[in-house]
Structure 1
Amino acid sequence: MNYATMKMLAAVALASLLSACASTPSVDTQTAPNTNLAEYNTFGFVSPLGTDRAGYTSFLSNSLTGATRAALQGKGYTYTEDNPKMLVNFNVKVQQKTDIDTFGPPIAYGPWGYRAGLYGGWAGYGYPDMVDQYDEGTLMVDLVDPVQKAMIWEGVTKMRSNDASKWNEQQIRDHVNAVFAELPPAQ
């Protein structure tokens, strides 16, 4: 093998390793008992959405509806405002979380850096605790039967952010796609 081929193979291997490390959002789903999701092939949105604010549509609602339309249409569902078979609603709950990592005492050494020996070693001062504060947002996507006025399916995912008001479009799209990856395609 020549040098150029080896270099290219190393680059491909590195890219594969990095893509394998990319995390996908975890999703929990639940379907209502005795629900046949194959009966639902059209969708619309609840009005007002759970993510809307006092009488107006929020930026978050716009991002969620756009990502949802793309995800559901990609699975064969048809968007309609005229008597859809299911309605989509969103709810978001944000909680402030704190992770504290504590580290054990340092390794003890004797005088001049040698092993501790008969009298034990000096352990030094220890390590500081690492404190990480962040917002964890829970996104709940509900599919509702408008005739029965009952939830038929729900997908839940969590988003981590240092500022919950600044989730970017890509984060929202990734989480919405992960939620709807769990929904069977339209028939």
Structure 2
Amino acid sequence: MKLSRQYSTGVFLILALSLVGCSGIPVSTDYDTSRQFPQLSTYAWMVPKQKLVEDPTVDNDLMNNRVMRAVDAELFSMGVKKATGDASADFLITYHVSAENRQSINSFHSSFGYYPCWQSCYRFGAHNDTYIRHYKQGTFMVDVIDPASSELIWRGIAGRRLTAKTPLERDAYVNEIVSAILAEFPPGRSASGN
């Protein structure tokens, strides 16, 4: 009896850990590999460039304030402080958010009897169901700029379905994606566990 409890506890822990691993947000980064990233302690906001095409879903004051609050909070938790001016900042930070319409197509085959088969097979009551779902995909991009040269030195990108319906859900959604992106900054931070 003790062995089966230990076994079931072990199986539960493995399943729980695999679910936690699946819930992460995939983030891709790009950065200047020739640059040394010293201890960065101060930052200032850089006003994002005006887009040619605006999307009112993500291009609005509510979203702008939400993203800036999330970035400020995340940098503060990393020990990075907001500088009093651009001249005293170790780096500038800005972001870009976009949303695009996408669709997912899923086909399911259901039948009573033997399936699959190659040429001929016994199928009783077989039918295919295809489901098309339309959704909006949000892409978040956080850029780190060198204040002296105005060059991009680091970029983090993550994308997710836009599912939040209420302001609180939108806050949580943005906080989670910004946290995932900035967990990769500066380069090597996530590998070192800091």
TM-score range normalised by the length of the shorter chain: 0.7 to 0.9
Q: TM-score, normalised by structure 2?
A: 0.70
Query: What amino acid does structure 2 have at the position aligned with 1:179?
Result: I
In 1, Cα distance between the equivalents of 2:75 and 2:102? Answer: 32
Equivalences for residues 165-176 of structure 1 within 5 A: 168-176=170-178
Larger strand share, 1 or 2? 2
1:40 alignment counterpart: 40
User: CA 1:28–1:122 in structure 2 vs 1: closer, same or farther (change >3 Å)?
Assistant: closer
In 2, Cα distance between the equivalents of 1:89 and 1:18? Answer: 36
| Structure 1 residue matching 2:160: 3-state secondary structure | strand
| Structure 2 residue matching 1:124: 3-state secondary structure | strand
2:150 alignment counterpart: 149
2:128 alignment counterpart: 127
Q: How many residues align?
A: 169
Kept in 2: contact 1:101–1:130 (CA 8 A): yes
In 1, Cα distance between the equivalents of 2:152 and 2:39? Answer: 14
| Structure 2 residue matching 1:129: 3-state secondary structure | strand
Q: Which digits, 9 at most, give the CA deviation of each residue in 1:62-91, with x for residues without a partner?
A: 111111111112212111131212111111
In 2, Cα distance between the equivalents of 1:45 and 1:128? Answer: 50
| Structure 2 residue matching 1:61: 3-state secondary structure | helix
Question: Which structure would you say has the larger Rg?
Answer: 1
Q: Which digits, 9 at most, give the CA deviation of each residue in 1:89-121, with x for residues without a partner?
A: 111121111111112352437xxxxxxxxx964
User: CA 1:89–1:164 in structure 2 vs 1: closer, same or farther (change >3 Å)?
Assistant: farther
Does residue 103 of structure 1 match 2:74? no
Over the residues paired in the alignment, what is the CA RMSD in angstroms? 3.6
Kept in 2: contact 1:105–1:123 (CA 8 A): no
Which of 74, 99, 102 lines up with 1:94 in the alignment? 99
User: CA 1:43–1:34 in structure 2 vs 1: closer, same or farther (change >3 Å)?
Assistant: same
Kept in 1: contact 2:48–2:95 (CA 8 A): no
Structure 2: runs of 5+ lacking an equivalent: 115-119, 190-194
Q: Which digits, 9 at most, give the CA deviation of each residue in 1:4-55, with x for residues without a partner?
A: xx9xx97xx96995575240111011111322221632101112566899xx
